[in-house]
Structure 1
Amino acid sequence: MSGGPVARVLVDSPLPQLDQLFDYAVPERLSAVVRAGQRVRVPLRTGGRIAQGFIVELTETSEYAGRLAELDDVVSGVPMLADDVWRLARRLADRAAGNASDILRLAIPGRYVRAEKAWLADQTAPGPLPVDPPPVTGYDEGAVERGLREGERMTLAAVPQPVRLGSGAWVGAWAVTLAEAAARTLADDRSAILVVPDYRDQEQLEAALADRVDPSRVIRTDARQPGAERYRGFLRAGEPVARVIVGNRSAVYAPAHRLGLIALWDDGDALQAEPLAPGVHARDAALVRQEQSGAALVFLGHTRSVDVQRLVEVGWVRAVPRARAVRPHVVVTENQAAADERARAARIPSTAWTAAADALRAGPVLVQVAQPGYAPSLVCDTCRQPASCTTCGGALTSPTATGAAHCRLCGRSAADWRCANCDGTRLRGVTAGSARTAEDLGRAFPAVRIVRSDGERPVLTVDSTPQLVVATRGAEPIAEGGYRAVLLLDGERMLVRESLRVAEDCLRWWSNAAALAAPGAPVFLVGVSGAIGTALATWRHDRWASAELAARRELRFPPAVRVATVRARREHLEHALAALDELGGAIDVLGPVPEDSGLERAIVRADYGAANRLAEVLKAEQIRVATERRRPVAGQPVRKAPTLRVRFDDPEVS
């Protein structure tokens, strides 16, 4: 047992065997400056390497019997790892069979010395806290305020309409709801973390906050910021001052002072899912942080995700009803051929075509399409077989009317393409993207301005003048006063995407677009009927989510169960699956099946009560495989270190 100042350090490493705290002696030259939470450099015993890590805690003794290595140096005198963020990262990593350092890499930005010095020199105090802010409007009187005060977990259905702020800007009503909730929290001298999918939502939310909160109390953090600006915002968030922190999914880890509210807008959006290991969804991180901190938690959306529906049905989250029913005027219409040739070219039924023409006399009309580009899907003009790349087999696409077709995967030109089925050489477009739709509508309405908004040409707002706005899902601009009509095209095509959550995603995309309509304006859902069409028309998303959850329970699909995807070489995968036998009937295994990478994949489904134990077993298997001794074989190349990859709640299978 060693004595003296001891720093317990989490080493920043992706290796699973290093996902633990290591004890280092604090040298006398650093004893006056070392503090918990600092980023430090430490020696590793293998190869004499130096690694970075975080001091999690300082103690006087160590259980290690040998001589401790000393800290090499302190990277920054500013503590960057708050204790509550460490506990959150450790809990989430254990839950996902991952490394805590991988989560901290998302939570804590890289250091910028100049930004740090500027922050240390800045002694400016933030502006005043809100005084007696108004209640959160649109819901039963006092229901949301009580939940904020008592730290409840709530789900709210957003009011589906655009509203005008005092500044004159137009935003979705959801942004006002979050701004009002944040102002109430800030008035109690507590911080709020507001998590949104992307910068479009962030712009609306910041505009709504500007009407209710002193701007110096708001911190923006997102991946689009320059590194130095993001680092300085992170340092400001850790100050002992109540703030409102607005950002994308990684903002849920912000070091907020006296956290009083965590709110997620549109938790079902795919951008809320973290693609980097260990792949913790922002919703799950928020749930764990709420449980640890006692802050209020709000899920807000036009639709309710099936995951939140499960939490409502098990009593973990409370659904707060709206004060009065507000819903768009949705018309479900068949995709019948229109009498007008121009309407047929634009894939618009007669009733929707007539309504759009009438609405254009009063203001803008929104047309939502499935994909960007000109002809996203191409087939052989002779035999109608889908056209694929002769090099990699990927689908061919045409981004513009005059541009050559190319492969979506490898980007190779299809100038010398030849059909493998009939030897034909001519291509034909079978779908129309945003560019083609805009072109067709431009011919149909020659005197009307056409605006195109997609990932390549984003448009955030449009004015109230008559214009046709063609946008891909998720890229719809906000219109002043709302759209006078909304046309939701390509519904059938959206629903054929291979995904367990395709119906849930489509309902969310359509609902978010419908919520941009002016009060009373018609919203046409083209070519979709059945339960999902009824859910949109009646605006009873909770009923649809409940029925969807019941169906998934019967089939043991997520989120009724937790799912872990395990990938490894055959011998390692077989050993890992054998280790799961101790869990008994609480789990079941699908596969294994081979993959192109030479690995095999198995999907393990587990009841929630067994999921933590499943994560422990799989993490132990990861460490066993990573530390396996590999003997070199003469005459053969050295093999790469074996890996066993684990991904809980994998979006590809859930």
Structure 2
Amino acid sequence: MSSADDTGEQLAFIRETVRKARPRTWRGALPAEHLPVARVVVDKGLLHLDQFFDYAVPATMAEEALPGVRVRVRFGARVVASGRREGGELHDGFIVERRADSDYKGPLAPLAQVLSPEQVLTPALLRLCRTVADRYAGSLADVLQLAVPPRHAAAEAEPSPPPLPSPAAPEPGSWSRYPQGPDYLAALTAGHAPRAVWTALPGPTWPEEIARAVAATLAGGRGALVVLPDGKAAARVDAALTALLGPGRHTALTADLGPRERYRHWLSVSRGSVRAVIGTRAAMFAPVRDLGLVVVWSDGDGNHSDPRAPHPHVREVALLRAAEEGAGVLLGGLSVTVEAAQLLRTGWARPLAAERETVRATAPRVRTVTDLDQARDAAAQSARLPGPAWEAAREALTRGPVLVQVPRRGYVPRLACARCREPARCRHCVGPLEARSSGGVLECAWCGQSEAQWHCGECGSFRLRAQVVGARRTAEELGKAFPRVPVWTSGRDSVLPAVSGEPALVISTPGAEPVAEGGYAAALLLDGWALLGRPDLRAGEEALRLWMAAAGLVRPAGEGGTVVVVAEPTARPVQALVRWDPAGHAALELQERAQLHFPPVSRMASVTGAPHAVADLVSLIRLPEGTDVLGPVPAPGGRGEELERALLRVAPGQGAALAAALKAAQIARVALRTPDPVKVRIDPPDIG
């Protein structure tokens, strides 16, 4: 036999020996020679499956199956009589690690497919998602669905442009109106991580001020992230950044981009092409490289709380990212939340506010009236306005547009008996009745049943009155009172981004107020009692935030800007609006919360479900020592369903233990095959 034959036999012998020595997968495929095990997080948002699973990496996928890529795996395979595994559903997932071996001693299923070689799940993003899942008693898979957008192959195939060099440090501009403003920008440029609660001055300059903070961070060689409550605010900051830095240095992540464009923008951030991101709620997870600043505008806005499990809040995610990545923080808004006041009280953040003289020079004049102060003028009465509010609107319309904020949309959302003020209820489900059009029949807001022959069950009256009149009805009435003035409406169905500076009436629901060119001449804030009377711990804080957001669009008092708020003048939020002192209001609210042991002084979780299910879950929880159980009581918004809610309250520092206990109890319910679901929410936004 020739030496060549000897060599061939030896090589064949070696290959066969290696083949037998290397672990096989249960399908018989040969694994990769180097790091043959892939640890995968599978896209199954079930708490009892919130762990990593090991899969074999086939040799054919060894080069592409890298940490961070999307893969498809079989999950839930069964063992047949021969000992082989078969079946199992295909699920998407992410590789989080390549390993030399596995803790699982049996044969490993192979990866079914590498969906893309793009490494979208970075180690920093994985750590953040794990931290958020633990804080909110959720699963990592659920958080990853919020953090990583769905793949779009066409967008992934497009190359991202190279990053632009860092810009020059910006001038302070309008930040000079704040005593600490220039120093804050200088600290960002120097690469420091300043943390501030920013009480922004009223007027149109806050988008430019955010843009300058982002520019200062980029000048220091680090990245910036700005999260805003809605697309309208994001568009204003987008325009300000483009005007200051030009195109190509930042990208926007908003829901209206569409799947392809949003993923393309997200990839430009993940690949490092841009280092500044602005966007709405989902942008809180944007993988900005070398993060140096996180900005959250109007952190009390409800849009910052994700309605999908596990319901993370933008502010809390921002604070977690800042602590993990050593970034600066800027919590800004025209108002101040109690959570921001808590950060100031503990010294975690510093205040960033203007002097009182500057506030007085930029804020509008605020007047208070009650809805009992009706004018004798027939036009004012038909417009459903108190006399001073009607006079203010008539005078301001000679100088520019007038904003009218109505705390409800639609026509007449809620009705009551005109004689005894008893709320009008549905005979079928006891839900509230409403009139959705002029002259239309009454309909139930819960079950949709119509009510043509309503009469009051308390006094027998057949006459109705509106508890709160909606935006469309208000626009109709004001149009009659001011027949030669254009009337615009802005609400959930149609939000106006901006209006001209010409005289007009702009009827808007809270949060949908368009920006007026040159500012509004006046603003009327109607039905203040509807906001203050909500059965919620945050009612006063939320009312002040909504009022200040609208009043901040009005011209300064020196230019004739006037705000009329129709509410009880002695109410604390009303007085804070008159003085334009949101920080003082937040400090007093925090003081009361501390006395009552309510968040943010304590940590709280809500448990909502059928009565027996809530009791079952509470009995399974190994509560931290000193936990207070409040309730259970009927759940708000149950709409006729028999739901109860219990609140669990713990002292500061025990929030992580409470979240872990709730998660363990939910897993125990799954193991016991309990049928009725229970909704668990950490830091619920609607504490009644």
Same fold (TM > 0.5): yes
What does residue 474 of structure 2 align with? 437
Select which of 531, 538, 541 maps to 2:579.
538
What does residue 552 of structure 1 align with? 593
Superposition deviation, residue 384 in structure 1: 4.9
What does residue 332 of structure 2 align with? 300
Select which of 83, 98, 105 maps to 2:138.
98
What does residue 115 of structure 2 align with? 75
8 Å Cα contact 1:561-1:607 kept in structure 2:
yes
**1:2-41 alignment runs, 5 A limit:** 4-41=35-72
**1:196-275 alignment runs, 5 A limit:** 196-275=228-307
8 Å Cα contact 2:166-2:221 kept in structure 1:
yes
Superposition deviation, residue 8 in structure 1: 1.3
Unaligned runs of 5+ in 1: 163-172, 631-639
Select which of 493, 514, 525 maps to 2:530.
493
- Is the alpha carbon distance of 1:513 and 1:57 closer, same or farther for their aligned partners in structure 2, counting shifts above 3 Å? same
8 Å Cα contact 1:147-1:154 kept in structure 2:
no
Superposition deviation, residue 99 in structure 1: 0.6
**Which of 1 and 2 has greater Rg?**
2
Select which of 657, 664, 668 maps to 1:620.
664
Distance 1:600 1:370 in 2: 28
**Residue identity matched to 1:480:** E
Superposition deviation, residue 421 in structure 1: 5.1
Select which of 643, 650, 653 maps to 2:684.
650
Distance 1:468 1:294 in 2: 47
Q: Percent identity?
A: 39
| The 10-residue stretch of structure 1 (68-77 or 406-415) with the greater mean CA deviation from structure 2 | 406-415
What does residue 637 of structure 1 align with? none
**Residue identity matched to 2:135:** R
Distance 2:556 2:644 in 1: 53
Distance 1:451 1:601 in 2: 41
Provide Cα deviations, 1:339-373, integer angstroms capped at 9, x if missing partner. 21222333333333223222211111111111122
Q: Do residues 395 (structure 1) and 436 (structure 2) align? A: no
**1:443-522 alignment runs, 5 A limit:** 443-520=480-557, 521-522=561-562
What does residue 603 of structure 2 align with? 562
8 Å Cα contact 2:417-2:424 kept in structure 1:
yes
Superposition deviation, residue 197 in structure 1: 0.6
- Is the alpha carbon distance of 1:207 and 1:589 closer, same or farther for their aligned partners in structure 2, counting shifts above 3 Å? same
Provide Cα deviations, 1:592-619, integer angstroms capped at 9, x if missing partner. 3466766654211011211111112221
What does residue 634 of structure 1 align with? none
Superposition deviation, residue 145 in structure 1: 1.4
Distance 1:581 1:70 in 2: 38
Q: Do residues 321 (structure 1) and 361 (structure 2) align? A: no
Superposition deviation, residue 388 in structure 1: 2.2
Distance 2:333 2:634 in 1: 39
8 Å Cα contact 2:268-2:274 kept in structure 1:
no
8 Å Cα contact 1:626-1:642 kept in structure 2:
no
Distance 1:436 1:537 in 2: 28
| The 10-residue stretch of structure 1 (266-275 or 54-63) with the greater mean CA deviation from structure 2 | 54-63
Distance 1:107 1:230 in 2: 13
Aligned length: 630
**Residue identity matched to 1:260:** G
Q: Secondary structure at the match of 1:529?
A: coil
Superposition deviation, residue 584 in structure 1: 1.8
Distance 2:106 2:670 in 1: 25
Select which of 378, 394, 397 maps to 2:415.
378
Distance 1:534 1:380 in 2: 32
Q: Secondary structure at the match of 2:404?
A: strand
TM-score normalised according to structure 1 size: 0.91
| The 10-residue stretch of structure 1 (595-604 or 523-532) with the greater mean CA deviation from structure 2 | 595-604
**Residue identity matched to 2:603:** R
Unaligned runs of 5+ in 2: 1-21, 24-33, 79-87
Distance 1:427 1:538 in 2: 37
**Residue identity matched to 2:432:** A
8 Å Cα contact 1:563-1:603 kept in structure 2:
yes
Superposition deviation, residue 641 in structure 1: 4.3
TM-score normalised according to structure 2 size: 0.86
Q: Secondary structure at the match of 2:648?
A: strand
Superposition deviation, residue 230 in structure 1: 1.4
Superposition deviation, residue 382 in structure 1: 7.0
8 Å Cα contact 2:163-2:274 kept in structure 1:
no
8 Å Cα contact 1:395-1:409 kept in structure 2:
yes
**Residue identity matched to 1:219:** T
Select which of 541, 548, 568 maps to 1:528.
568
**Residue identity matched to 1:447:** R
8 Å Cα contact 1:626-1:643 kept in structure 2:
no
Q: Do residues 310 (structure 1) and 342 (structure 2) align? A: yes
What does residue 81 of structure 2 align with? none
Superposition deviation, residue 287 in structure 1: 0.5
**Residue identity matched to 2:683:** D
Distance 1:573 1:421 in 2: 35
Distance 1:514 1:616 in 2: 43
Select which of 402, 406, 413 maps to 2:450.
413
8 Å Cα contact 1:535-1:541 kept in structure 2:
yes
8 Å Cα contact 2:199-2:583 kept in structure 1:
no
Provide Cα deviations, 1:22-53, integer angstroms capped at 9, x if missing partner. 12221111111111111111222355222211
8 Å Cα contact 2:196-2:350 kept in structure 1:
yes
Distance 2:530 2:352 in 1: 34
Provide Cα deviations, 1:120-177, integer angstroms capped at 9, x if missing partner. xx35335554323222623225332144231122111112012xxxxxxxxxx22111
Q: Which has the higher contact order (CA 8 A, sep 6+)?
A: 1
Superposition deviation, residue 430 in structure 1: 4.1
Select which of 195, 202, 206 maps to 1:160.
202
**Residue identity matched to 2:246:** D
8 Å Cα contact 2:554-2:563 kept in structure 1:
yes
| The 10-residue stretch of structure 1 (392-401 or 18-27) with the greater mean CA deviation from structure 2 | 392-401
